[in-house]
Amino acid sequence: MAKSLVIVESPAKAKTINKFLGRDYVVKASMGHIRDLPVKKLAVDVEHNFKPQYEVIKGREKVVADLKKAAKASGAVFLATDPDREGEAIGWHLAQELKGARKPVHRVLFNEITRRAVQEAFAHPGKIDSRKVEAQQARRILDRLVGYKLSPLLWEKVRRGISAGRVQSVALRLIVDREKEIRAFVSTEYWTLDARLAAGQPPEFTARLVKVNGEKVRLPDEGAARAAVAALEHATFRVAHLTTKERKRHPVPPFITSRLQQEAARKLGFQAKKTMQVAQQLYEGIELGKEEGVGLITYMRTDSTRVAAEAVAEVRGYISEKFGADFLPETPPVYKSARGAQEAHEAIRPTSVLREPAGVRAYLTRDQLALYTLIWNRFVASQMPPARFDVTTADIEAGRSLLRATGRVMRFPGFMQVYVEGTDEAPKRPPHEVEEENGSGEAHETAEMTLPPMREGEVLALRALHPEQHFTQPPPRYGEATLVKELEERGIGRPSTYATILSIIQNRDYVVREKGKFIPTELGEIVVDLLVKSFPRIMEYEFTALMESRLDEIEEGKAKWREEMHRFYHFFAKWLKEAKVSMANIKAMEEQTEERCEKCGAPMVIKWGRFGKFLACSTYPKCKATRELPRNGGNGASAEAAPSEEAAQACEKCGRPMVLKRGRYGPFLACSGYPECRTVVRVDGGKRQPPPPPEPTNERCEKCGAPMVIRTGRYGRFLSCSTYPTCKAIKSLPIGVDCPRCKAPLAQKRTKRGRTFYGCSSYPACAFALWNRPVPEPCPRCGAKFLLEKRTRGGEVTLACATQGCDFAKAPGAPEPVAAPAS
């Protein structure tokens, strides 16, 4: 009997599944998509009902040929691709390519790669879901039409090589709009006034001024704060009202894709792309020692919070045994998924909660363990009871003023015993604005602050008054977590696309990341402004969300994909035609300045280039002189004409002035003698980090006889001719130990990744190298010319002999040897 062919996307998934199916199956990987719209043309026949023209992806021809051969030799074909739109589309393309084999084709779906789930899926195979395929095809064609029609327009008007996209451009607009908000924000001064008070029993506590004469207090400046202090300095502080209430904090649902990306960014510092890569590894299978490989988590592309009944039963048993009956709610918590979520999927959870992170630590990489722990903790916590707190609020009267102190004490940790969700930063606002928004007096609640025993009417002792100045802060820039959150809340894109969106806008030079935050480049802002003006409908947040809803309706069978294509393209073609005429041509725009070209004396003009605006000679191409324009560059002054303090430095190589420039990766200092001198210096956080000045030595250059100096370069310190760039002779810096092979001096060097090593200065003639630093101290036991400086993980230093078979070792400066360090 012929074996059945099983096709999955990746070799890792194939390896895991193969162990579950036995000898009657052959499992092969398609390596992802095998067919797609070709890159070099639109490949969508707009005139004939948007017929797509698919072809085998370049480089996948051998894979397809191998699958066809295997299909002909098999009894049946099982498509075990991922259980989402993309997986369904991959399965459909595979079925189309394998039609010639004339073998029955089955679709199998499983949400986790475990023996039970896989065998259950193969016991009940189904068919390819044509509606999912149509929804994916609609998205693909929609994105192709927008990208391939808008991008050439931007090439013509702005710069070749840039791109636009139906979703990526809207995501970029969020970043640009936020940057405009920040620029427009006017910071406002405000003050707060806290009183340090003592009751009859400890501890002392802090109360904040919240009302004066029954009105919410506003302290706009120092004068108002001082007046408030003066009014309270000699006042009697009396407890007017005490209330204690129990508050609950409920657990959060198990992860969906977007929330996993957000939390991994907050807690682990993972970018969305990395989160999905590591999650894919955990899903596809991990070898657990002598056990068979198994998927550790359920499918990681999901927007559903549903959890299978057997998983709930398992985790409840675990919680009861591990934490006790108090930590097990009477009924399992059920979480509501977002509108339009695919309830056929489950939330992201461990395939078995019994595989504790500590138990699988030895088999996982550091990143895999960190993400698995996050998923495991969140899932367990989601099935635990709320945390309970006693929140006590004390209203304290002092003359015409009212102060408020709030204390919170945890009475029962509940789910917080296992997991607490991370938070995003919020802008600072005056206390009265916070109180007006939440309608409560708990705006100043201090976590876990304990108030002393008090009674109403009790007089309190004033220990100190603390007025403090604040300024309102603009909304924070988006980071990975907050941008994904915003996209999700607005319904822009889908969880499976967020990682790709974030990667594209960074790779296209539209944004840069500084301290984990997205800042739009000048190019990014120009592109958004042009698109918003010429394609306002496409760039609307609501319209993009509406298109996502339409794609969901296609999958649900409520809409026809071709009808949606016609509806969209009817308007899009009209907008495109108008934009070709009306869109501003940035390339052709020139802004006159009063600057003069240093080479020919002609006027300089401001032009647009790859990294933004710059000064260029107006006679170009006759004269090709250019100069950097300051970042604020409104007056046409060049960076050379008005150098910053950091830029007022001489080039270490030729002595000419260094000028501040801005490139793809941020600001840097460059020699004004470019291109004759190409010296550049990185600028970190806007501050120049200049190399130390050259150090004189007694050595002479072997080429010209001039003195050699010690310089610091990208890969560490080195010897260089003092006449550089006239003479470019360089040598490695000796460390006082000779090579045991060729007797040339050993030198300290660095690999391309920055790791220090010690190698022969005669390289490549001699390739001798050591990771540990050689010390010019002979071995008293075997006579070796040097010892090696070895460091343990605890930071202890030992000098040990490098000769094989010699175990001599001692502490630095110690006369007697110590035990040899572990290798």
Cβ burial of 530 (10 Å; 0-12, 13-18, 19+) is buried
Residue 363, CA distances (Å) to 286, 345, 358, 590, 817 in order: 8, 28, 10, 61, 38
Alpha-carbon dihedral angle through residues 93, 99, 101, 103, given to the nearest 10 degrees: 90
Going through 140-289 in order, the beta strands assigned E by DSSP cover 189-198, 205-212, 215-216, 237-249
Q: How many CB atoms within 10 Å of residue 227?
A: 12
Candidates 299, 510, 569, 758; catalytic one: 299
The secondary structure of residue 632, as a DSSP letter, is T
As a whole number of angstroms, the distance between CA 22 and CA 686 comes to 61
| Dist. CA 606–CA 586, nearest whole Å | 11
Report which residue type is found at 634: G
At what angle are helices 257-268 and 272-284 packed, to 10 degrees? 110
Concatenate the DSSP letters of all residues of 746-771 into one string: EEEEE-TTS-EEEEETTTTS---EES
Answer for the pair 761, 775: CB distance below 8 angstroms, yes or no: no
Question: For the CA atoms of 163, 164, 167, 173, what is the dihedral angle to 10 degrees?
Answer: 110
The rounded distance, in Å, linking the Cα atoms of 325 and 392 is: 28
* Position 129, amino acid: D
Q: Which run of H or E residues covers position 78?
A: strand 77-79
Query: Which residue type is seen at 652?
Result: E
Q: Which helix H or strand E contains 118, and what residues bound it? A: helix 115-123
Active site residue 299: yes
275-294 exposure pattern, b = at least 16 Cβ within 10 A, e = fewer? bbebbbbbbbbbebeeeebb
Furthest CA-CA distance within the chain: 98
Q: Tokens representing 797?
A: 């230093």
Peptide bond into 357 cis (omega under 30): no
- 3-class SS at 345? coil
Q: Are strands 25-29 and 4-8 parallel, antiparallel or unpaired?
A: parallel
* Burial of residue 429, with CB atoms counted within 10 A of its CB: 0-12 exposed, 13-18 middle, 19 or more buried: middle
655-668 in b/e form (b: 16+ CB < 10 A) is: eeebbbbbeeebbb
C-alpha to C-alpha distance for 80 and 8, rounded to whole angstroms:
5
Token representation of residue 146: 């927008």
* Spatial CB neighbours of 466, under 8 Å, sequence gap ≥ 6: 193, 194, 195, 196, 206
Please provide the DSSP assignment of 399-464 as one string: TTEEEEEEEEEEEE-GGGGT------------HHHHHHHH-SS-TTPBTTPPPPP--TT-EEEEEE
User: Which helix (H) or strand (E) segment is 258 a member of?
Assistant: helix 257-268
Residue 22: alpha-carbon gap to chain centroid? 41
Of the candidates 539, 533, 538, 536, which has an alpha carbon nearest to the alpha carbon of residue 583?
Answer: 533
Query: Rounded to 5 degrees, what are φ and ψ at 748?
Result: -80, 130
Which residues are designated catalytic? 299
